């Protein structure tokens, strides 16, 4: 994409023109009185957001893009228009060098290469009765699968590269496009194998990369994406946006779901305004992309996501079941802040228990529409989640809920809305409104904050050190598991790591074990992409060879892994304490308390064993 195209892509033409004249929405377009000739009868001036253009169908018969508009309106020449629009779009202007022109040509070539891969994967799907039957069994029509370009990567190490090399492409191009990876000992292999393939396109429909889902339930991880490339950035792209833009404008609403299948099913059912991120919480870039088409954004979360820690990440709320693995669904405080900055309205709706969006949409399209009408603002959704259907009468629980919700309310940009939420929380908790009105975030001094900050830094450093050792030698996992089993504790798991990338990295290490046809380090590199891959390489490069024949060294290493487990156990105990308060209002309080007490006893026992083990390794 040239810098001129990038600026044009970032600037909302309807918003820009609407700042200098009154526009009225007319279907997916906007109309008004032309600012370039006298006319007060017929609004013949039309803005076409989908194409980024405008035209007057009246006397002047002028038209063009955003550059032409500001040049005519402000009397600027093109360089002036480019400079001013670049500042508005936040794009840094630099003279185009021969190297940049060469890069742009290379990007065009990479997109063509990715399109060839789409054709290859599509053809494989049509000749794979098992995978095609699976997709059709889930209710997907042939038309829907074709519209999204869904394909299948065969269970082969070189099928794609053989296909593309025969067409005259080079290994280096395939690596740059993220389609194949290089082995450390020489040679190349297909990055995607035995997976259902989803082409990822930018908002203009141009190929950027792939998302891939397992076709065999035994494979791991469930989803992988193209690595970070000059075209693919999973924090900026949204699956389905290229085909959803018109529907989002028409409905004046964008719906964000969690999976590729969800998007395809909703479009198939007639709800074409659905998009999906790629396994990450929504970023400001993605929200800004959606806001170009509508300021109304709804997040549809499954029932599991609505009850776990990730849903309330940023609030430090722990209501997840102790045996549930959290997923990075959304950041509540981040959404509220983005809402204010982008002047958008973000709402959340929880799905029925045990239902995914694709199931709801394919079973009853009208039920999906009814569900979206129940979407709540982020703050209200969080309050409903914490307080539940019956208001708490326990003073400590009320205080705990207030401490968690009030920081979220404080992030609301509109002062009237902010006060309304405070009053609503006071009524829900049945406390004096003045207690809510007087609340402000606690300010800690630099000295007070330094101790926990250092503790957190030390904890994350230990996590990085441990991952570095595992990345250099994945089979070290077996040795650590034996150390934990000796304490009658379960083996190492992704939940022993708190960073999202760290959890992804550990899962890749696990998947690399037992792969006789590939070096473990090659395996985890193939499974990772983006920031997780960068982080893994950094961790591995800092790790040193460990001589486990030296008892003190072995003790020091095992102690670090024990500290990771201790951190997890202590965190679970804190969560359990909150859960024990939360069940006080339930009718089944006795049974729930017995169950929680058993879990607490188990955690206390684990903590005691770790305390003893760590004391012996000092």
- Render pLDDT for 234-249 as a digit per residue (tens, 0 to 9): 888 999 999 998 899 8
3-state helix, strand, coil in the chain (%, to 5): 55, 10, 35
The structural domains of the chain, with segments of one domain joined by +, span 3-89, 104-225, 241-378, 390-442, 449-615
Which of the four pLDDT bands, split at 50, 70 and 90, describes residue 443?
very low
pLDDT of residue 56: 87
State the DSSP string of 485-532. HHTT-PPP-GGG--SHHHHHHHHHHHHHTT-TTS-HHHHHHHH--HHH
pTM reported for the whole predicted model = 0.58
Asked if residue 448 has pLDDT above 70, the reply is no
Asked if residue 29 has pLDDT above 80, the reply is yes
Pick the CATH number of 104-225 from 3.90.980.10, 3.40.30.10, 3.30.365.10, 3.40.50.720: 3.90.980.10
pLDDT of residue 331: 64
How many Å apart are CA 96 and CA 104, to the nearest integer? 10
User: CA-CA distances (angstroms) from residue 111 to 98, 105, 106, 238?
Assistant: 20, 10, 9, 17
Query: pLDDT for 261-308, tens place per residue?
Result: 999 999 999 999 999 998 777 787 788 888 877 889 999 876 554 434
Domain 3-89: which topology? DNA Primase; Chain A (3.90.580)
Class of domain 449-615: mainly alpha
Pick the CATH number of 241-378 from 3.40.1360.10, 3.40.50.300, 3.20.20.140, 3.10.450.50: 3.40.1360.10
Asked if residue 577 has pLDDT above 70, the reply is no
The mean per-residue pLDDT over the stretch 184-192 comes to: 91
pLDDT of residue 249: 81
Q: Give the strand pairing for 180-182 and 45-48.
A: unpaired
């Amino acid at each position: 994409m040239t810098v001129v195209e990038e600026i044009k892509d970032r600037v909302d033409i309807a918003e820009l023109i609407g700042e200098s004249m009154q526009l009225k929405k007319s279907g997916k377009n906007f109309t008004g009185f032309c600012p370039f000739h006298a006319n007060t009868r017929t609004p013949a001036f039309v803005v076409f957001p989908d194409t980024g253009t405008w035209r007057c169908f009246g006397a002047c018969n002028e038209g063009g893009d955003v550059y032409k508009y500001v040049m005519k309106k402000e009397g600027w020449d093109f360089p002036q228009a480019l400079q001013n629009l670049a500042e508005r779009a936040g794009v840094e202007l630099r003279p185009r060098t021969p190297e940049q022109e060469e890069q742009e040509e290379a990007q065009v070539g990479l997109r063509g290469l990715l399109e060839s891969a789409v054709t290859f994967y599509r053809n494989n799907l049509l000749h794979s009765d098992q995978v095609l039957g699976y997709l059709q069994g889930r209710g997907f029509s042939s038309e829907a699968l074709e519209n999204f370009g869904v394909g299948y990567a065969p269970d082969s190490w070189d099928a794609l590269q053989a296909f593309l090399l025969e067409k005259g492409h080079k290994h280096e191009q395939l690596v740059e496009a993220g389609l194949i990876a290089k082995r450390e000992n020489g040679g190349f292999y297909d990055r995607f194998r035995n997976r259902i393939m989803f082409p990822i396109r930018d908002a203009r429909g141009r190929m950027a990369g792939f998302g891939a889902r397992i076709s065999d339930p035994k494979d791991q991880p469930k989803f992988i994406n193209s690595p970070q490339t000059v075209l693919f950035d999973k924090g900026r792209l949204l699956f389905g946006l290229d085909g959803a833009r018109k529907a989002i404008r028409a409905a004046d609403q964008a719906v964000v779901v969690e999976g590729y299948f969800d998007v395809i099913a909703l479009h198939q059912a007639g709800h074409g305004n659905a998009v999906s991120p790629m396994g990450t919480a929504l970023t400001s870039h993605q929200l800004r992309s959606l806001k170009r088409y509508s300021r109304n954004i709804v997040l549809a979360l499954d029932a599991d996501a609505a009850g776990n820690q990730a849903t309330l990440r940023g609030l430090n709320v722990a209501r997840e079941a102790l045996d549930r693995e959290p997923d990075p669904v959304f950041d509540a405080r981040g959404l509220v802040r983005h809402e204010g900055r982008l002047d958008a309205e973000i709402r959340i709706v929880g799905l029925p228990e045990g239902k995914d969006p694709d199931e709801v949409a394919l079973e009853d399209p009208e039920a999906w529409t009814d569900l979206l009408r129940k979407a709540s603002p982020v703050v209200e959704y969080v309050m409903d989640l914490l307080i539940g259907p019956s208001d708490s009468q326990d003073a400590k629980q009320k205080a705990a809920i207030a401490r968690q919700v009030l920081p979220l309310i404080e992030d609301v940009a509109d002062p009237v809305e902010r006060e309304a939420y405070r009053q609503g929380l006071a009524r829900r908790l049945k406390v004096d409104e003045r207690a809510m009105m007087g609340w402000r975030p606690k300010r800690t001094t630099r000295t007070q904050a330094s101790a926990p900050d250092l503790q957190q830094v030390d904890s994350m450093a230990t996590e990085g050190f441990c991952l570095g050792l595992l990345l250099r030698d994945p089979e070290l996992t077996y040795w650590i598991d034996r150390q934990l089993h000796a304490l009658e504790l379960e083996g190492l798991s992704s939940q022993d790591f708190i960073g999202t990338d760290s959890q992804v990295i550990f899962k890749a290490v696990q998947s690399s074990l037992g792969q006789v046809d590939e070096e473990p380090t090659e395996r985890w590199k193939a499974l990772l992409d983006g920031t997780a891959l960068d982080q893994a390489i950094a961790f591995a490069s800092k790790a040193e060879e460990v001589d486990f024949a030296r008892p003190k060294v072995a003790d020091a290493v095992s102690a670090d892994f024990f500290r990771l487990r201790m951190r997890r156990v202590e965190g679970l105990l804190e969560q359990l304490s909150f859960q024990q308060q939360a069940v006080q209002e339930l009718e089944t309080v006795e049974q729930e308390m017995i169950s929680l007490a058993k879990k607490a006893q188990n955690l206390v026992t684990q903590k005691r064993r770790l305390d003893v083990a760590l004391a012996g390794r000092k």
